A and B are shown apart, each in its own frame.
Chain A
Amino acid sequence: MRRRNLLKTARFSKEVAKLPRKRVALLFSGGTMLSEKPRPWEIVKKPEHMRRWLDNMSEINVIADVEPVFITGKGTLEIGPDEWLAMAEAVRRLHQSVDGFVVLHGVETLHYTANALSLMLRNLPFPAVVSGSPLRMPGLGVRQVEFAARANIINAVQVAAADVAGVCVVFGNRIMPAAQVQPVMAEGAFQLVTAETALLGRVDFGTKLFENRTKRSNRKPRWSIHLDQHVFVTTITPAVSASSFRLAIRGDFHAILARLHELVSLPDYVEREFRRALKHGIPVVLSSRHPLPGMVEFISLLGVSPSMAVVKTMWALGATREAGKLRKLLEQNVAGEFIQGGAA
């Protein structure tokens, strides 16, 4: 009886205290499932599935008006350059009609998407939040994992409506710059992290934004929405096969990206193949933790995460295939992607 009366009081209040209402675009690109055992409504494979998902996540409406935008129904491992471009285009298309964006995303490849968006969507005067939550966590049951996932979405929408600007990632209690997130396995679970000093804010009892964040403003966004997917990506290990590089030279690739995160020099036979690639007009980008002496003809990409190395090469190649300009783009700090102390 008492409960009914309480609700009645709220229901029949004639006036409502006004607060400027924020409008947030929700970009559906995976990340809609709340646990390993999803109910049918959690799966959003087609645009018509978005409404039933939103109906079951009505708590979002408390924070903001939601504009659903369907990007893809693919699984997280299938999300790549085409989807990154579609997300960036959606932000460009809608940015004047909303206050912020949330990209719903599966966690495994979330850092690639975040890195790509940070390069394509620069100088944003509003937030674009990429967010996802693991479908399993050690020691937690299905329901607890679901609650955590729901809370993560709430946090992401809250950040998208808050006084912060630029592409950022909300994962657990961390609000991070998208250009600097890296995946780690910590405490037995998949996590996305960044350096403590790079954090833009933290979720404790609400979202607390730090002073080092960029605030909302009226500045003009810089759209650089282009990616060239024709990048041959390889990791250099002592046993790497030379024939794979020959394939890259013969194939339809516009650049070779070699990641040397565990090495400080190239094996001779690999170096020879890379010089051959240069002769064929295919630039070679070496992504490493440390400077590689005596390899000035190759483009050095130092101090970025492995995922950023991939998307930055695609992004720069999308802007130019001219070797000198490509080198300049790759070596300059575009979106704060250079990690102090080196990439993990």
Chain B
Amino acid sequence: MIRAYFYGPPTTKRDLNDVYEVIKDVCQRADVALSTNTEAEEINLPSETIAEHRATGVPLLDAMQAILVEGSTPDPQAGYLLAYALAEKRPLLYLYSRGEVAPDVLRYLNLKDIPKHIVIATYTKDRVEKLVEDFLRRLGDIKVREVARIKFTLRLTKSLDDFLDFKTRNTKLSKADFLREDMDKRMKADEEFQQHLRKRKG
């Protein structure tokens, strides 16, 4: 399991808090053990790891394999994390909102020298999810679980409903989950569709 740290400057802005939630949600779906200042419990590490770091004097940030920063507003901590990631050659995603002025810290980076492990990206609310997903995928063999967000009204016959009742009885699955899983299996096994996807990507 990958360990990451997400920093977002404390804010009362609803839009920004929504962005924080999206970032945390993507990390959760990617099974990333996320420590973040945006929760009351900042540290998400085993107690033995924390004790070891306390004893050896190594900062907890060192236990993180990746860092994510929301840096739209001027904030010294965002700059610190960027400098730390540069020093430690640690993957970092530095996000700032499109339409905002470029953060102060970026002025002091010689952009032609930005190493590959640092990703600086502007985002819109719609794009932030994809940016975080792409960044996490670059870290290794990480799969981000998709969320079912598209509403679909389906009318069933009585017999189909009986069938779904039968298949989901004594399981933790809802009828909707059962249908989603079944379709997912079919989709992955459908060679024609997979070929279509590959063509679209290529």
Contact = CB atoms under 8 A, between A and B. Distances in A.
10 contacts: A3-B116, A10-B122, A60-B83, A62-B83, A63-B76, A151-B62, A151-B87, A158-B80, A161-B76, A206-B7
Contact of B109 (A62, A161, A193): A62
Given A16-B106, A17-B102, A61-B108, A205 B57 contact: no
Interface stretch (B22-30, B35-43, B144-152, B180-188): B35-43
A154 B108 CA distance: 15
Given A18-B74, A148-B58, A204-B43, A63 B111 contact: no
A187 interface: yes
Given A150-B87, A205-B61, A16 B37 contact: no
Interface centre among A10, A16, A205 (most CB of B within 10 A): A205
B192 interface: no
B121 A6 contact: yes
A11 B83 contact: no
Contacts of A187: 55-56
Contacts of A36: none
Interface of B: 5, 7, 35, 37, 42-43, 53-62, 64, 73-77, 79-84, 86-89, 100-111, 113-114, 116, 119-122
Interface stretch (A166-174, A209-217, A304-312): A166-174
A20 to B, nearest CB: 9
B13 to A, nearest CB: 15
A10 B43 CA distance: 31
Nearest to B72: A17
B57 A154 contact: no
Nearest to A21: B104
Interface of A: 3, 6-7, 9-11, 13, 15-19, 21, 58-63, 147-148, 150-151, 153-155, 157-158, 161-162, 171-174, 186-187, 189, 191, 193, 203-207
Contact of B87 (A147, A186, A205): A147
Contact of B58 (A10, A150, A161, A172): A172
B56 A189 contact: yes
B106 A10 contact: yes
A64 B144 CA distance: 37
A148 B79 contact: no
The 5 closest A-B pairs by CB, nearest first: A172-B57, A13-B102, A150-B87, A19-B74, A59-B86
B76 A19 contact: yes
A156 B101 CA distance: 29
A13 B103 CA distance: 9
B110 to A, nearest CB: 6
A253 B80 CA distance: 48
A17 B122 CA distance: 14
Nearest to A188: B56
A151 B88 contact: yes
Given A6-B121, A7-B114, A173-B59, A154 B80 contact: yes
B60 A147 contact: no
B56 A172 contact: yes
A42 B176 CA distance: 62
Given A3-B119, A186-B56, 16 more contacts: A3-B116, A7-B111, A13-B101, A13-B102, A18-B104, A62-B109, A151-B61, A154-B80, A154-B87, A155-B59, A172-B56, A189-B56, A205-B7, A205-B60, A205-B81, A206-B80
B55 A17 contact: no
B46 to A, nearest CB: 15
A153 B106 contact: no
